[in-house]
Amino acid sequence: MASSFMASKPTTAAMSFSSSVSTFLPWRFSNLSTSAAFPARPRRRIPTVKSKIREIFMPALSSTMTEGKIVSWVKSEGDVLSKGESVVVVESDKADMDVETFYDGILAAIVVAEGETAPVGAPIGLLAETEEEIDEAKAKAAAKSGSSSSGAVSPSPPPPASSPAPAIPQPPAPLAAAAKPASDGPTKIVATPYAKKLAKQHKVDIGSVVGSGPFGRITPEDVEAAAGIKSSKSNAAVAASDAPPAPVDAAPPKAASGSASLPPPLPGSTIVPFTTMQSAVSKNMVESLSVPTFRVGYPVTTDALDALYEKVKPKGVTMTALLAKATAMALAQHPVVNATCKDGKSFTYNGNINIAVAVAINGGLITPVLQDADKMDLYLLSQKWKELVEKARSKQLQPHEYNSGTFTLSNLGMFGVDRFDAILPPGQGAIMAVGASKPTIIADADGFFSVKSKMLVNVTADHRIIYGADLAAFLKTFAKIIQNPDSLTL
């Protein structure tokens, strides 16, 4: 079919061009007819290819995602796909999401099976345009898996060879020569962002580095090995290689390295690796340690809020929705508390007030976001919150539904916790921890005692942009709204 298309299109174009030339300008283009006609043919042949086998890549489902896990393939090999149809379910660092195809075609080969992981941008499947291309796609998938396995084996010798290179220069030469043909196969260089940064920093030609990651992906360890830098893995390998010649002398360094890294597990204990979500939470918590924070606590009387809650509870309104609405209304009056500082050189006044609320789910923690909470009706806000919680627990949240928060609310009061401090999430200016409302004896100005319900809220804030007076004013406004909650239902 491609050959007939190529034969018909240029012929028609040449005929129309020559007829128009001969009719209107027979003398001007007589010497240029051949030179003008022939250059047009290659231009028309360039976009025409004999086969189109497209790769289905691992998508970046969030800004913090570096790799994804294949939960399940919705389609099987040989299934006909339409543009926009779900093909595979991928587990990101926050949720399970359906991945759609951008083209029509046939799922010719699955490169990454269910339960396996792949870095962002790596091919996970191959899409063929016709049935005749399926065998070619399967051969291409087999070649990819073969190159990835060889890439995982061949880079293993260079780390030990790079460290003793000054003493024994001969062994690295044949190893490098043997590993080089493996890197000459693929024309596209796939490397992690940190590996590219290391290569630029140490002036290493990343095109000559053989990747040991999935599908030949170049990792930071590969770049360190090429630069002759001793990484933690290479140090462990060198210590292991030095152990057999001198077992007596090698024992103390081995014990020292073990004590320096992690203590041995206790007898009967079990080591459980992080899930994708737990890894993301761990990374964010470590990142938050670089931000200078301070904390301010404030007691709030909740009798009026409790009375309002009893009235609106039968209508489906939750306490979380009430607190989120009150917080958003207070932030509207104190925009600096809703601001963010990401680079340490400037800060941003956010145009939207998006309240992220921490939710504990099986295997981790996630913060669904109530967007424009200050502008939304209380009943619609509560309905939206219920939908977000259901999607969070089924791991079906979209990225904009959990990474667009400008202020975070964490409520452990429902568990009876009277007070606690929350860790500031990266990219936000403040987070408020809400404790339980409990009966408290209060003395008024005349010396009379009464019992009122009070809760203690603690706000953790970024001290680079928010100061103590800012938080005090914000909390005072928040307390007034809670003590006079009629404005929440307007």
Catalytically annotated residues: 463
* Cα gap 192→173, rounded to integer Å: 26
Q: Which of 302, 285, 418 minimizes the C-alpha distance to 358?
A: 285
Within 8 A by CB and 6+ apart from 22, the residues are none
Radius of gyration, alpha carbons of the chain:
32
Classified as helix, coil or strand, 238 is helix
3-class SS of residue 388: helix
Q: Could you tell me if 94 and 60 are in contact, meaning their C-beta atoms sit under 8 angstroms apart?
A: no
Residue 223 three-state SS: helix
Contacts of 63 (CB under 8 A, 6+ apart): 399, 403
Contact indicator for 334, 467 with CB cutoff of 8 Å: no
Give residue 223's identity as a one-letter amino acid code.
V
In this structure, what token pair is assigned to residue 371? 């967007």
CB 397 within 8 A of CB 94: yes
CB count in 10 Å sphere of residue 277: 20
Q: Report the distance separating Cα 145 and Cα 150, nearest Å.
A: 9
CB contact set of 438 (below 8 Å; sequence gap of 6+): 418, 453, 454, 455
DSSP string computed for 422-479: -PPPTT-SEEEEE---EEEEEE-TTS-EEEEEEEEEEEEEETTT--HHHHHHHHHHHH
78 and 134 Cβ atoms separated by less than 8 Å: yes
Q: Are 151 and 211 in contact (CB under 8 A)?
A: yes
Report the sign of the C-alpha dihedral through residues 79, 84, 85, 89, in that order.
positive
User: Look-up: residue for tokens 């870095």?
Assistant: 119
Helix, strand or coil, per DSSP, at residue 396: coil
d(CA 414, CA 436): 6
Residue 259 to residue 429: CA distance in whole angstroms: 38
**Token pair of 328, please?**
């958003």
CB-based contact 74:88 (threshold 8 Å): yes
CB burial readout 330-363, b (16+ within 10 A) else e: bbeebebbbbbbeeeeebeebeebbbbbbbeeee
